[in-house]
Structure 1
Amino acid sequence: MPATPIYDLVVSLIPKGLASQVPVNLLAWEAGKTPLSTFPALVTAIATYLAVIFGGRELMRNRPAFTTSLKWPFLLHNLALTFGSGLLLVLMLEEIIPIWSRNGFYYAICGEGAWTMRLETFYIINYYFKYWELIDTVFLVLKKKPLAFLHVYHHSATAALCFSQLHGKTSVSWVVICLNLAVHVLMYFYYALTSLKIRCPWKRSVTTAQITQFVIDLFIVYFASYNYFAYTYFPNVPHYGTCAGKEHAAFSGMGCLTSYLFLFIAFYQKTYSKDKAKKAAAAKANQKLTNGSSNGHAKAK
Protein backbone atom coordinates (compact mmCIF):
# COMPACT_ATOMS: atom_id res chain seq x y z
CA MET A 1 0.00 0.00 0.00
CA PRO A 2 1.39 3.45 -0.90
CA ALA A 3 2.00 5.93 1.91
CA THR A 4 -0.81 8.43 2.48
CA PRO A 5 0.48 10.75 5.23
CA ILE A 6 -2.00 13.59 4.56
CA TYR A 7 -5.00 11.23 4.57
CA ASP A 8 -3.72 9.50 7.71
CA LEU A 9 -3.28 12.87 9.43
CA VAL A 10 -6.80 14.02 8.53
CA VAL A 11 -8.31 10.74 9.75
CA SER A 12 -6.32 10.93 12.99
CA LEU A 13 -7.85 14.34 13.73
CA ILE A 14 -11.40 12.94 13.58
CA PRO A 15 -12.62 11.64 16.96
CA LYS A 16 -12.83 7.84 16.81
CA GLY A 17 -16.40 7.79 18.08
CA LEU A 18 -17.48 10.22 15.38
CA ALA A 19 -15.58 8.42 12.60
CA SER A 20 -17.25 5.11 13.44
CA GLN A 21 -20.70 6.70 13.15
CA VAL A 22 -20.24 8.00 9.59
CA PRO A 23 -22.87 6.21 7.43
CA VAL A 24 -21.52 4.02 4.63
CA ASN A 25 -23.66 5.91 2.10
CA LEU A 26 -21.59 9.03 2.77
CA LEU A 27 -18.40 7.18 1.88
CA ALA A 28 -19.71 5.19 -1.11
CA TRP A 29 -22.19 6.30 -3.76
CA GLU A 30 -25.47 4.43 -3.31
CA ALA A 31 -28.27 5.76 -5.51
CA GLY A 32 -31.29 6.49 -3.35
CA LYS A 33 -29.32 6.23 -0.10
CA THR A 34 -26.53 8.74 -0.49
CA PRO A 35 -27.96 12.28 -0.04
CA LEU A 36 -28.75 13.99 -3.37
CA SER A 37 -28.00 10.79 -5.28
CA THR A 38 -31.21 10.58 -7.33
CA PHE A 39 -32.20 12.55 -10.41
CA PRO A 40 -35.36 14.03 -8.78
CA ALA A 41 -33.24 15.18 -5.82
CA LEU A 42 -30.75 16.83 -8.20
CA VAL A 43 -33.50 18.60 -10.15
CA THR A 44 -35.17 19.75 -6.93
CA ALA A 45 -31.89 21.12 -5.58
CA ILE A 46 -31.11 23.08 -8.76
CA ALA A 47 -34.70 24.34 -9.05
CA THR A 48 -34.54 25.51 -5.42
CA TYR A 49 -31.26 27.30 -6.14
CA LEU A 50 -32.77 29.10 -9.14
CA ALA A 51 -35.92 30.01 -7.19
CA VAL A 52 -33.88 31.38 -4.28
CA ILE A 53 -31.54 33.53 -6.36
CA PHE A 54 -34.13 34.93 -8.78
CA GLY A 55 -36.73 35.31 -6.05
CA GLY A 56 -34.11 36.93 -3.86
CA ARG A 57 -33.21 39.34 -6.63
CA GLU A 58 -36.83 40.47 -6.79
CA LEU A 59 -37.00 40.87 -3.01
CA MET A 60 -33.82 42.96 -3.09
CA ARG A 61 -35.01 45.16 -5.95
CA ASN A 62 -36.34 47.95 -3.68
CA ARG A 63 -33.99 47.31 -0.78
CA PRO A 64 -30.48 48.63 -0.20
CA ALA A 65 -27.62 46.28 -0.94
CA PHE A 66 -25.83 44.55 1.91
CA THR A 67 -22.22 45.72 1.98
CA THR A 68 -20.18 45.95 5.18
CA SER A 69 -22.38 43.43 7.03
CA LEU A 70 -21.37 40.74 4.52
CA LYS A 71 -17.63 41.42 4.67
CA TRP A 72 -16.73 38.79 7.26
CA PRO A 73 -19.20 36.09 6.15
CA PHE A 74 -17.95 36.54 2.57
CA LEU A 75 -14.32 36.37 3.70
CA LEU A 76 -14.89 33.22 5.77
CA HIS A 77 -16.83 31.60 2.92
CA ASN A 78 -13.97 32.18 0.49
CA LEU A 79 -11.20 31.21 2.88
CA ALA A 80 -13.04 28.00 3.80
CA LEU A 81 -13.45 27.08 0.13
CA THR A 82 -9.80 27.94 -0.55
CA PHE A 83 -8.63 25.66 2.25
CA GLY A 84 -11.22 22.93 1.56
CA SER A 85 -10.44 22.83 -2.17
CA GLY A 86 -6.71 22.72 -1.47
CA LEU A 87 -7.01 19.91 1.07
CA LEU A 88 -9.27 17.82 -1.16
CA LEU A 89 -6.87 18.35 -4.09
CA VAL A 90 -3.91 17.10 -2.03
CA LEU A 91 -5.87 14.07 -0.80
CA MET A 92 -6.90 13.13 -4.33
CA LEU A 93 -3.37 13.52 -5.72
CA GLU A 94 -2.04 11.40 -2.87
CA GLU A 95 -4.41 8.64 -4.01
CA ILE A 96 -4.08 8.93 -7.80
CA ILE A 97 -0.33 9.57 -8.25
CA PRO A 98 0.68 6.07 -7.04
CA ILE A 99 -1.89 4.54 -9.42
CA TRP A 100 -0.48 6.64 -12.27
CA SER A 101 3.17 5.86 -11.49
CA ARG A 102 2.48 2.16 -11.01
CA ASN A 103 0.24 1.52 -14.04
CA GLY A 104 0.75 4.46 -16.42
CA PHE A 105 -1.37 7.46 -17.37
CA TYR A 106 -3.81 5.61 -19.63
CA TYR A 107 -4.72 3.19 -16.85
CA ALA A 108 -5.08 6.12 -14.44
CA ILE A 109 -7.74 7.74 -16.65
CA CYS A 110 -9.38 4.62 -18.08
CA GLY A 111 -8.73 1.57 -15.91
CA GLU A 112 -11.56 0.32 -13.71
CA GLY A 113 -9.07 -0.02 -10.86
CA ALA A 114 -8.44 3.73 -11.04
CA TRP A 115 -11.90 4.28 -9.53
CA THR A 116 -11.02 3.41 -5.94
CA MET A 117 -13.26 3.42 -2.88
CA ARG A 118 -11.30 6.30 -1.37
CA LEU A 119 -11.50 8.35 -4.58
CA GLU A 120 -15.24 7.72 -4.69
CA THR A 121 -15.50 9.25 -1.22
CA PHE A 122 -13.51 12.27 -2.41
CA TYR A 123 -15.75 12.58 -5.48
CA ILE A 124 -18.81 12.63 -3.21
CA ILE A 125 -17.24 15.37 -1.07
CA ASN A 126 -16.45 17.34 -4.22
CA TYR A 127 -20.05 16.89 -5.35
CA TYR A 128 -21.29 18.39 -2.08
CA PHE A 129 -18.80 21.24 -2.49
CA LYS A 130 -20.77 22.21 -5.60
CA TYR A 131 -23.85 22.86 -3.45
CA TRP A 132 -21.79 24.81 -0.95
CA GLU A 133 -20.45 26.94 -3.84
CA LEU A 134 -24.02 27.95 -4.74
CA ILE A 135 -23.76 30.37 -1.82
CA ASP A 136 -21.51 32.44 -4.13
CA THR A 137 -24.67 33.50 -5.96
CA VAL A 138 -26.53 34.30 -2.75
CA PHE A 139 -23.81 36.81 -1.93
CA LEU A 140 -24.22 38.36 -5.38
CA VAL A 141 -27.97 38.70 -4.80
CA LEU A 142 -27.54 40.29 -1.37
CA LYS A 143 -24.95 42.71 -2.77
CA LYS A 144 -27.30 43.49 -5.70
CA LYS A 145 -24.67 42.44 -8.24
CA PRO A 146 -25.76 41.31 -11.75
CA LEU A 147 -26.55 37.61 -12.18
CA ALA A 148 -24.60 36.75 -15.32
CA PHE A 149 -25.81 33.76 -17.33
CA LEU A 150 -22.33 32.20 -17.21
CA HIS A 151 -22.25 32.31 -13.43
CA VAL A 152 -25.71 30.80 -12.88
CA TYR A 153 -25.31 28.20 -15.64
CA HIS A 154 -21.84 27.16 -14.51
CA HIS A 155 -22.87 26.67 -10.88
CA SER A 156 -26.00 24.70 -11.80
CA ALA A 157 -24.41 22.59 -14.52
CA THR A 158 -21.35 21.65 -12.47
CA ALA A 159 -23.50 20.05 -9.79
CA ALA A 160 -25.28 18.07 -12.52
CA LEU A 161 -21.93 17.12 -14.09
CA CYS A 162 -20.56 15.75 -10.82
CA PHE A 163 -23.81 13.84 -10.32
CA SER A 164 -23.56 12.22 -13.77
CA GLN A 165 -19.93 11.18 -13.26
CA LEU A 166 -20.67 9.57 -9.90
CA HIS A 167 -23.49 7.61 -11.52
CA GLY A 168 -21.34 6.76 -14.52
CA LYS A 169 -18.18 5.93 -12.52
CA THR A 170 -15.82 7.47 -15.06
CA SER A 171 -12.22 6.86 -14.02
CA VAL A 172 -11.14 10.02 -15.83
CA SER A 173 -13.13 12.11 -13.31
CA TRP A 174 -10.07 12.86 -11.21
CA VAL A 175 -8.47 14.88 -14.02
CA VAL A 176 -11.40 17.28 -14.27
CA ILE A 177 -11.90 17.50 -10.52
CA CYS A 178 -8.22 18.05 -9.67
CA LEU A 179 -7.84 20.82 -12.22
CA ASN A 180 -11.08 22.41 -11.01
CA LEU A 181 -9.94 22.28 -7.39
CA ALA A 182 -6.59 23.85 -8.29
CA VAL A 183 -8.36 26.71 -10.08
CA HIS A 184 -10.75 27.14 -7.16
CA VAL A 185 -7.87 27.52 -4.72
CA LEU A 186 -6.63 30.41 -6.85
CA MET A 187 -10.11 31.86 -7.45
CA TYR A 188 -11.48 31.76 -3.90
CA PHE A 189 -8.22 33.11 -2.48
CA TYR A 190 -8.53 35.98 -4.97
CA TYR A 191 -12.09 36.66 -3.75
CA ALA A 192 -10.90 36.55 -0.13
CA LEU A 193 -8.20 39.13 -0.82
CA THR A 194 -10.58 41.44 -2.69
CA SER A 195 -13.02 41.30 0.24
CA LEU A 196 -10.20 42.75 2.35
CA LYS A 197 -9.66 45.49 -0.25
CA ILE A 198 -6.25 44.03 -1.10
CA ARG A 199 -5.34 44.85 -4.68
CA CYS A 200 -4.92 41.71 -6.80
CA PRO A 201 -3.32 42.26 -10.21
CA TRP A 202 -3.97 38.66 -11.26
CA LYS A 203 -7.71 38.84 -11.93
CA ARG A 204 -7.17 38.03 -15.60
CA SER A 205 -4.97 35.09 -14.60
CA VAL A 206 -7.93 33.47 -12.84
CA THR A 207 -10.00 33.52 -16.05
CA THR A 208 -7.00 32.34 -18.08
CA ALA A 209 -6.52 29.44 -15.65
CA GLN A 210 -10.20 28.51 -16.01
CA ILE A 211 -9.96 28.45 -19.81
CA THR A 212 -6.70 26.47 -19.70
CA GLN A 213 -8.36 24.01 -17.36
CA PHE A 214 -11.19 23.34 -19.83
CA VAL A 215 -8.78 22.92 -22.76
CA ILE A 216 -6.85 20.24 -20.85
CA ASP A 217 -10.09 18.65 -19.59
CA LEU A 218 -11.51 18.38 -23.08
CA PHE A 219 -8.35 16.95 -24.61
CA ILE A 220 -8.20 14.16 -22.03
CA VAL A 221 -11.96 13.53 -21.79
CA TYR A 222 -12.37 13.38 -25.57
CA PHE A 223 -9.35 11.07 -25.77
CA ALA A 224 -10.79 8.73 -23.13
CA SER A 225 -14.25 8.81 -24.73
CA TYR A 226 -12.82 8.15 -28.19
CA ASN A 227 -11.07 5.03 -26.94
CA TYR A 228 -14.22 3.76 -25.24
CA PHE A 229 -16.41 4.21 -28.33
CA ALA A 230 -13.73 2.90 -30.71
CA TYR A 231 -13.23 -0.21 -28.59
CA THR A 232 -16.99 -0.76 -28.15
CA TYR A 233 -18.36 0.07 -31.61
CA PHE A 234 -15.44 0.43 -34.04
CA PRO A 235 -12.80 -2.12 -33.01
CA ASN A 236 -10.96 -1.78 -36.35
CA VAL A 237 -10.24 1.90 -35.67
CA PRO A 238 -6.86 2.50 -33.94
CA HIS A 239 -7.28 2.83 -30.17
CA TYR A 240 -5.55 1.95 -26.91
CA GLY A 241 -8.39 -0.08 -25.41
CA THR A 242 -11.63 0.51 -23.56
CA CYS A 243 -12.25 3.12 -20.89
CA ALA A 244 -14.21 2.68 -17.67
CA GLY A 245 -17.48 4.54 -17.28
CA LYS A 246 -21.02 4.73 -18.60
CA GLU A 247 -21.86 6.27 -21.98
CA HIS A 248 -24.27 8.86 -20.58
CA ALA A 249 -21.47 10.13 -18.34
CA ALA A 250 -19.13 10.46 -21.33
CA PHE A 251 -21.67 12.47 -23.32
CA SER A 252 -22.59 14.72 -20.40
CA GLY A 253 -18.93 15.33 -19.63
CA MET A 254 -18.01 16.23 -23.20
CA GLY A 255 -21.09 18.40 -23.69
CA CYS A 256 -20.83 20.29 -20.41
CA LEU A 257 -17.09 20.95 -20.61
CA THR A 258 -17.33 22.06 -24.25
CA SER A 259 -20.04 24.58 -23.34
CA TYR A 260 -17.87 25.88 -20.49
CA LEU A 261 -14.92 26.44 -22.80
CA PHE A 262 -16.89 28.51 -25.31
CA LEU A 263 -18.72 30.50 -22.63
CA PHE A 264 -15.54 31.33 -20.74
CA ILE A 265 -13.73 32.37 -23.92
CA ALA A 266 -16.65 34.67 -24.76
CA PHE A 267 -16.54 36.07 -21.22
CA TYR A 268 -12.79 36.66 -21.47
CA GLN A 269 -13.11 38.47 -24.78
CA LYS A 270 -16.02 40.60 -23.60
CA THR A 271 -14.48 41.49 -20.24
CA TYR A 272 -10.87 42.15 -21.14
CA SER A 273 -11.41 43.69 -24.57
CA LYS A 274 -13.73 46.17 -22.80
CA ASP A 275 -11.05 46.85 -20.18
CA LYS A 276 -8.48 47.33 -22.92
CA ALA A 277 -10.76 49.79 -24.74
CA LYS A 278 -11.32 51.75 -21.51
CA LYS A 279 -7.58 51.97 -20.86
CA ALA A 280 -6.96 53.09 -24.44
CA ALA A 281 -9.67 55.78 -24.16
CA ALA A 282 -8.24 56.97 -20.84
CA ALA A 283 -4.73 57.12 -22.29
CA LYS A 284 -6.00 59.08 -25.29
CA ALA A 285 -7.82 61.54 -23.01
CA ASN A 286 -4.70 61.99 -20.89
CA GLN A 287 -2.64 62.57 -24.01
CA LYS A 288 -5.06 65.26 -25.19
CA LEU A 289 -4.96 66.87 -21.75
CA THR A 290 -1.17 66.82 -21.75
CA ASN A 291 -1.00 68.25 -25.26
CA GLY A 292 -3.53 70.96 -24.37
CA SER A 293 -1.54 71.88 -21.30
CA SER A 294 1.67 72.03 -23.30
CA ASN A 295 0.07 74.26 -25.95
CA GLY A 296 -1.24 76.55 -23.21
CA HIS A 297 2.21 76.95 -21.73
CA ALA A 298 3.66 77.64 -25.16
CA LYS A 299 1.11 80.41 -25.83
CA ALA A 300 1.70 81.92 -22.43
CA LYS A 301 5.40 82.22 -23.19
Structure 2
Amino acid sequence: MGGNTATNTSAFVPFFVPPPDPNPSYLEVYPHEANFEFDKWRGWMGQNWAISLYASLFYVCLIFSGRRWMRHRKPYNLRLPLLIWNFLLASFSIYGFTRVFPEIRYLWGINNGVHTSICFRDAHNMATVFWGWWCTLSKMVELGDTFFIVFRKQPLIFLHWYHHITVMTYCWFTYEEYDPALKLFMGMNFFVHGIMYTYYALRAAGIKVPRGFAMVITTLQIAQMIAGVAINIHSLRVKLNGGECYRQSRDIFIALAMYFSYFILFANFFINVYLGKTKRKSS
Protein backbone atom coordinates (compact mmCIF):
# COMPACT_ATOMS: atom_id res chain seq x y z
CA MET A 1 0.00 0.00 0.00
CA GLY A 2 1.39 3.41 -0.87
CA GLY A 3 1.27 7.00 0.16
CA ASN A 4 0.77 6.65 3.90
CA THR A 5 4.12 6.72 5.63
CA ALA A 6 5.90 9.97 4.72
CA THR A 7 6.37 12.76 7.25
CA ASN A 8 4.79 16.19 6.93
CA THR A 9 6.47 19.28 8.35
CA SER A 10 3.18 21.19 8.72
CA ALA A 11 2.60 22.66 12.15
CA PHE A 12 -0.92 21.34 12.37
CA VAL A 13 -0.83 17.99 10.55
CA PRO A 14 0.60 15.17 12.71
CA PHE A 15 1.49 12.98 9.75
CA PHE A 16 1.30 12.91 6.00
CA VAL A 17 -2.04 12.28 4.30
CA PRO A 18 -1.65 11.67 0.55
CA PRO A 19 -3.55 14.04 -1.74
CA PRO A 20 -7.03 12.77 -2.61
CA ASP A 21 -7.56 11.66 -6.19
CA PRO A 22 -9.42 14.42 -8.12
CA ASN A 23 -10.34 12.06 -10.95
CA PRO A 24 -10.93 8.46 -9.75
CA SER A 25 -11.92 5.86 -12.31
CA TYR A 26 -14.93 4.72 -10.30
CA LEU A 27 -16.58 8.11 -9.65
CA GLU A 28 -17.16 11.45 -11.35
CA VAL A 29 -15.95 14.21 -9.04
CA TYR A 30 -17.91 17.44 -9.41
CA PRO A 31 -16.17 20.84 -9.59
CA HIS A 32 -17.26 21.98 -6.11
CA GLU A 33 -15.80 18.75 -4.69
CA ALA A 34 -12.59 18.95 -6.72
CA ASN A 35 -12.01 22.54 -5.55
CA PHE A 36 -12.31 21.66 -1.87
CA GLU A 37 -9.19 22.82 0.05
CA PHE A 38 -8.65 19.58 1.93
CA ASP A 39 -5.40 20.40 3.77
CA LYS A 40 -6.60 23.88 4.71
CA TRP A 41 -9.84 22.68 6.27
CA ARG A 42 -8.48 19.63 8.03
CA GLY A 43 -5.83 21.91 9.48
CA TRP A 44 -8.53 24.31 10.61
CA MET A 45 -10.38 21.42 12.21
CA GLY A 46 -7.26 20.29 14.02
CA GLN A 47 -6.76 23.77 15.45
CA ASN A 48 -10.41 24.32 16.34
CA TRP A 49 -11.84 20.91 17.25
CA ALA A 50 -12.38 22.14 20.83
CA ILE A 51 -15.32 24.14 19.46
CA SER A 52 -17.19 20.81 19.56
CA LEU A 53 -16.52 20.56 23.32
CA TYR A 54 -17.84 24.06 23.95
CA ALA A 55 -20.84 23.33 21.73
CA SER A 56 -21.51 20.10 23.65
CA LEU A 57 -21.42 21.89 27.00
CA PHE A 58 -23.71 24.66 25.72
CA TYR A 59 -26.03 22.07 24.16
CA VAL A 60 -26.41 20.04 27.36
CA CYS A 61 -27.05 23.17 29.44
CA LEU A 62 -29.54 24.43 26.87
CA ILE A 63 -31.59 21.25 26.56
CA PHE A 64 -31.98 20.73 30.30
CA SER A 65 -32.75 24.41 30.81
CA GLY A 66 -35.28 24.09 28.01
CA ARG A 67 -36.92 21.12 29.66
CA ARG A 68 -37.23 23.06 32.90
CA TRP A 69 -38.68 26.04 31.02
CA MET A 70 -41.23 23.78 29.30
CA ARG A 71 -42.23 22.00 32.51
CA HIS A 72 -45.46 23.97 33.02
CA ARG A 73 -46.06 24.90 29.40
CA LYS A 74 -48.04 23.15 26.72
CA PRO A 75 -46.04 21.39 23.98
CA TYR A 76 -45.61 23.19 20.68
CA ASN A 77 -46.91 21.47 17.56
CA LEU A 78 -43.99 22.31 15.21
CA ARG A 79 -45.20 19.81 12.61
CA LEU A 80 -44.23 21.86 9.55
CA PRO A 81 -40.75 22.87 10.82
CA LEU A 82 -40.19 19.24 11.87
CA LEU A 83 -41.19 18.01 8.42
CA ILE A 84 -38.83 20.45 6.70
CA TRP A 85 -36.01 19.67 9.14
CA ASN A 86 -36.25 15.90 8.66
CA PHE A 87 -36.72 16.19 4.89
CA LEU A 88 -33.53 18.28 4.56
CA LEU A 89 -31.48 15.93 6.76
CA ALA A 90 -32.83 12.87 4.92
CA SER A 91 -31.95 14.41 1.55
CA PHE A 92 -28.48 15.40 2.78
CA SER A 93 -27.80 11.91 4.16
CA ILE A 94 -29.08 10.03 1.10
CA TYR A 95 -27.10 12.19 -1.31
CA GLY A 96 -24.02 12.04 0.91
CA PHE A 97 -24.20 8.25 0.86
CA THR A 98 -24.29 8.20 -2.96
CA ARG A 99 -21.06 10.24 -2.99
CA VAL A 100 -19.03 8.23 -0.46
CA PHE A 101 -20.18 4.68 -1.18
CA PRO A 102 -18.47 4.39 -4.61
CA GLU A 103 -15.04 4.48 -2.93
CA ILE A 104 -16.08 1.78 -0.46
CA ARG A 105 -17.57 -0.37 -3.22
CA TYR A 106 -14.40 0.00 -5.30
CA LEU A 107 -12.12 -0.98 -2.42
CA TRP A 108 -14.26 -3.97 -1.47
CA GLY A 109 -13.88 -5.20 -5.04
CA ILE A 110 -10.08 -5.43 -4.94
CA ASN A 111 -7.85 -8.02 -3.30
CA ASN A 112 -7.91 -7.71 0.51
CA GLY A 113 -10.28 -4.82 -0.01
CA VAL A 114 -12.09 -4.85 3.36
CA HIS A 115 -8.79 -4.53 5.23
CA THR A 116 -7.65 -1.83 2.81
CA SER A 117 -10.84 0.14 3.35
CA ILE A 118 -10.31 0.06 7.12
CA CYS A 119 -6.59 0.69 7.41
CA PHE A 120 -5.43 2.58 4.31
CA ARG A 121 -6.20 5.80 2.48
CA ASP A 122 -5.64 4.17 -0.89
CA ALA A 123 -8.15 5.35 -3.49
CA HIS A 124 -9.52 8.17 -1.36
CA ASN A 125 -10.86 10.90 -3.57
CA MET A 126 -11.99 14.51 -3.48
CA ALA A 127 -15.68 13.65 -3.34
CA THR A 128 -15.24 11.51 -0.23
CA VAL A 129 -13.09 14.03 1.64
CA PHE A 130 -15.50 16.83 0.70
CA TRP A 131 -18.49 14.90 2.04
CA GLY A 132 -16.45 13.80 5.04
CA TRP A 133 -16.05 17.47 5.87
CA TRP A 134 -19.76 18.16 5.51
CA CYS A 135 -20.65 15.03 7.46
CA THR A 136 -18.41 16.30 10.27
CA LEU A 137 -20.03 19.74 10.27
CA SER A 138 -23.51 18.20 10.10
CA LYS A 139 -23.00 16.57 13.49
CA MET A 140 -23.30 20.04 15.03
CA VAL A 141 -26.38 20.83 12.95
CA GLU A 142 -28.02 17.58 14.06
CA LEU A 143 -27.99 18.82 17.64
CA GLY A 144 -31.10 20.67 16.50
CA ASP A 145 -32.99 17.35 16.67
CA THR A 146 -33.22 17.84 20.40
CA PHE A 147 -34.93 21.22 20.01
CA PHE A 148 -37.98 19.42 18.66
CA ILE A 149 -37.92 16.86 21.47
CA VAL A 150 -37.73 19.54 24.16
CA PHE A 151 -40.32 21.94 22.76
CA ARG A 152 -42.75 19.17 21.78
CA LYS A 153 -42.25 17.69 25.28
CA GLN A 154 -41.22 14.29 23.98
CA PRO A 155 -39.18 11.89 26.17
CA LEU A 156 -35.50 12.86 26.20
CA ILE A 157 -33.38 9.77 26.88
CA PHE A 158 -29.68 9.60 27.73
CA LEU A 159 -28.92 7.71 24.52
CA HIS A 160 -30.15 10.61 22.41
CA TRP A 161 -27.99 13.43 23.75
CA TYR A 162 -24.99 11.24 24.66
CA HIS A 163 -24.85 9.91 21.09
CA HIS A 164 -25.11 13.40 19.63
CA ILE A 165 -22.28 14.98 21.60
CA THR A 166 -19.85 12.06 21.44
CA VAL A 167 -20.23 11.52 17.68
CA MET A 168 -19.82 15.24 17.03
CA THR A 169 -16.73 15.55 19.22
CA TYR A 170 -15.09 12.44 17.77
CA CYS A 171 -15.69 13.57 14.18
CA TRP A 172 -14.28 17.03 14.84
CA PHE A 173 -11.32 15.60 16.75
CA THR A 174 -10.28 13.08 14.07
CA TYR A 175 -11.05 14.82 10.77
CA GLU A 176 -7.63 16.50 10.77
CA GLU A 177 -5.99 13.08 10.47
CA TYR A 178 -8.57 11.83 7.99
CA ASP A 179 -8.76 8.44 9.70
CA PRO A 180 -8.84 5.74 6.97
CA ALA A 181 -11.89 4.16 8.61
CA LEU A 182 -13.77 7.46 8.38
CA LYS A 183 -15.14 6.47 4.99
CA LEU A 184 -16.80 3.42 6.56
CA PHE A 185 -18.11 5.24 9.63
CA MET A 186 -19.40 8.02 7.42
CA GLY A 187 -20.96 5.64 4.90
CA MET A 188 -22.83 3.75 7.63
CA ASN A 189 -23.94 7.00 9.21
CA PHE A 190 -25.26 8.45 5.95
CA PHE A 191 -27.08 5.20 5.09
CA VAL A 192 -28.83 4.77 8.43
CA HIS A 193 -29.62 8.47 8.81
CA GLY A 194 -31.06 8.60 5.31
CA ILE A 195 -33.59 5.94 6.29
CA MET A 196 -34.17 7.31 9.80
CA TYR A 197 -34.82 10.92 8.80
CA THR A 198 -37.05 9.78 5.94
CA TYR A 199 -39.12 7.87 8.49
CA TYR A 200 -39.32 10.93 10.74
CA ALA A 201 -40.29 13.13 7.80
CA LEU A 202 -43.11 10.76 6.81
CA ARG A 203 -44.43 10.75 10.36
CA ALA A 204 -44.22 14.54 10.56
CA ALA A 205 -46.19 14.71 7.31
CA GLY A 206 -48.96 12.69 8.95
CA ILE A 207 -48.30 9.61 6.82
CA LYS A 208 -48.98 6.41 8.72
CA VAL A 209 -45.86 4.24 8.75
CA PRO A 210 -46.01 0.63 10.01
CA ARG A 211 -44.62 0.38 13.52
CA GLY A 212 -42.32 -2.41 12.39
CA PHE A 213 -40.38 0.16 10.36
CA ALA A 214 -39.17 1.81 13.57
CA MET A 215 -37.93 -1.59 14.74
CA VAL A 216 -36.06 -2.02 11.45
CA ILE A 217 -34.33 1.34 11.96
CA THR A 218 -33.23 0.45 15.49
CA THR A 219 -32.00 -2.93 14.20
CA LEU A 220 -29.95 -1.12 11.54
CA GLN A 221 -28.50 1.14 14.23
CA ILE A 222 -27.51 -1.87 16.32
CA ALA A 223 -25.93 -3.48 13.24
CA GLN A 224 -24.06 -0.22 12.61
CA MET A 225 -22.63 -0.32 16.13
CA ILE A 226 -21.61 -3.97 15.80
CA ALA A 227 -19.84 -3.12 12.53
CA GLY A 228 -18.11 -0.19 14.23
CA VAL A 229 -16.87 -2.44 17.04
CA ALA A 230 -15.66 -5.02 14.50
CA ILE A 231 -13.80 -2.38 12.45
CA ASN A 232 -11.94 -1.13 15.51
CA ILE A 233 -11.15 -4.61 16.84
CA HIS A 234 -9.72 -5.51 13.43
CA SER A 235 -7.60 -2.34 13.41
CA LEU A 236 -6.33 -3.01 16.92
CA ARG A 237 -5.54 -6.65 16.15
CA VAL A 238 -3.56 -5.71 13.04
CA LYS A 239 -1.53 -3.07 14.87
CA LEU A 240 -0.84 -5.33 17.86
CA ASN A 241 0.41 -8.04 15.50
CA GLY A 242 2.79 -5.60 13.79
CA GLY A 243 0.77 -5.28 10.60
CA GLU A 244 0.13 -2.17 8.53
CA CYS A 245 -2.81 -0.07 9.63
CA TYR A 246 -2.56 3.69 9.25
CA ARG A 247 -4.96 4.57 12.04
CA GLN A 248 -3.92 6.27 15.26
CA SER A 249 -4.09 3.88 18.22
CA ARG A 250 -5.68 6.64 20.27
CA ASP A 251 -8.50 7.01 17.73
CA ILE A 252 -9.07 3.27 17.62
CA PHE A 253 -9.48 3.01 21.40
CA ILE A 254 -11.81 6.03 21.53
CA ALA A 255 -13.93 4.76 18.65
CA LEU A 256 -14.05 1.24 20.10
CA ALA A 257 -15.28 2.57 23.44
CA MET A 258 -17.84 4.76 21.72
CA TYR A 259 -19.24 2.07 19.43
CA PHE A 260 -19.39 -0.47 22.24
CA SER A 261 -21.28 1.97 24.46
CA TYR A 262 -23.67 2.74 21.59
CA PHE A 263 -24.26 -0.96 21.06
CA ILE A 264 -25.17 -1.44 24.73
CA LEU A 265 -27.48 1.59 24.74
CA PHE A 266 -29.24 0.79 21.46
CA ALA A 267 -29.64 -2.87 22.39
CA ASN A 268 -31.11 -1.85 25.74
CA PHE A 269 -33.44 0.58 23.97
CA PHE A 270 -34.56 -2.18 21.58
CA ILE A 271 -35.27 -4.59 24.43
CA ASN A 272 -37.18 -2.04 26.50
CA VAL A 273 -39.21 -0.50 23.68
CA TYR A 274 -40.00 -3.52 21.48
CA LEU A 275 -39.43 -6.75 23.39
CA GLY A 276 -40.59 -5.26 26.68
CA LYS A 277 -43.93 -4.24 25.18
CA THR A 278 -44.32 -7.66 23.59
CA LYS A 279 -43.83 -9.33 26.98
CA ARG A 280 -46.32 -6.97 28.64
CA LYS A 281 -48.93 -7.65 25.95
CA SER A 282 -48.40 -11.40 26.30
CA SER A 283 -48.89 -11.27 30.04
Quickly name the TM-score band, shorter chain normalised.
Answer: 0.7 to 0.9
1:62 and 2:72 matched = yes
Aligned with 2:278: secondary structure?
A: helix
Q: 1:214 matched to which residue of 2?
A: 225
Distance 2:265 2:47 in 1: 28
Length, aligned pairs only: 257
Structure 2 residue 76 is the aligned partner of structure 1 residue 74: no
Q: Name the amino acid aligned to 2:37.
A: V
1:128 has 2:156 as partner: no
**TM-score (norm. length: structure 2):** 0.82
What SS does structure 2 have at the residue aligned with 1:134? helix
Structure 2 counterpart of 1:29: 42
Which residue matches 2:152?
143
Q: Contact 2:56–2:165 at 8 Å: present in 1 too?
A: yes
Q: Secondary structure at the match of 2:109?
A: helix
2:53 matched residue in structure 1: 43
> Structure 1 counterpart of 2:103, which letter?
E
2: CA distance between counterparts of 1:101 and 1:126? 25
State the structure with more CA Rg: 1
**What is the deviation of 1:98?**
2.9
User: Over residues 246-299 of structure 1, what are the superposed CA-to-partner deviations in whole Å (9 max), with x where a residue is unaligned?
Assistant: 121111110100000011111111111332134335xxxxxxxxxxxxxxxxxx
Alignment counterpart, residue 113 of structure 1, candidates 113, 118, 122: 122
The question of whether the paired residues in 1 share the 8 Å contact of 2:119 and 2:246 is answered with yes
Give the equivalent residue in structure 2 for 1:224. 235
**Equivalent residue letter for 2:114:** F
User: Quick one: distance in 2 between partners of 1:259 and 1:61?
Assistant: 30
Instruction: Give 1:40 shift.
Output: 2.8
Q: Residues 25 and 112 (structure 1 numbering): CA distance in 2 closer, same or farther, change over 3 Å?
A: closer
Which residue is 1:270 aligned to?
272
Is the Cα contact below 8 Å between 1:167 and 1:249 reproduced in 2? Answer: no
Q: How many angstroms apart in 2 are the aligned matches of 1:230 and 1:51?
A: 44
Tell me which moved more, 214-223 or 272-281.
Answer: 272-281
User: Which of 161, 165, 181 lines up with 1:172 in the alignment?
Assistant: 181
Structure 2 gap segments, 5+ residues each: 1-23
Partner Cα distance (2:188, 2:226) in 1: 11
Structure 1: 5+ residue stretches without partners? 232-240, 282-301
Between 1:271-280 and 1:82-91, the stretch displaced more is: 271-280
| Structure 2: distance between partners of 1:146 and 1:81 | 21
**Distance in 2 between the 1:208 and 1:225 partners?**
26
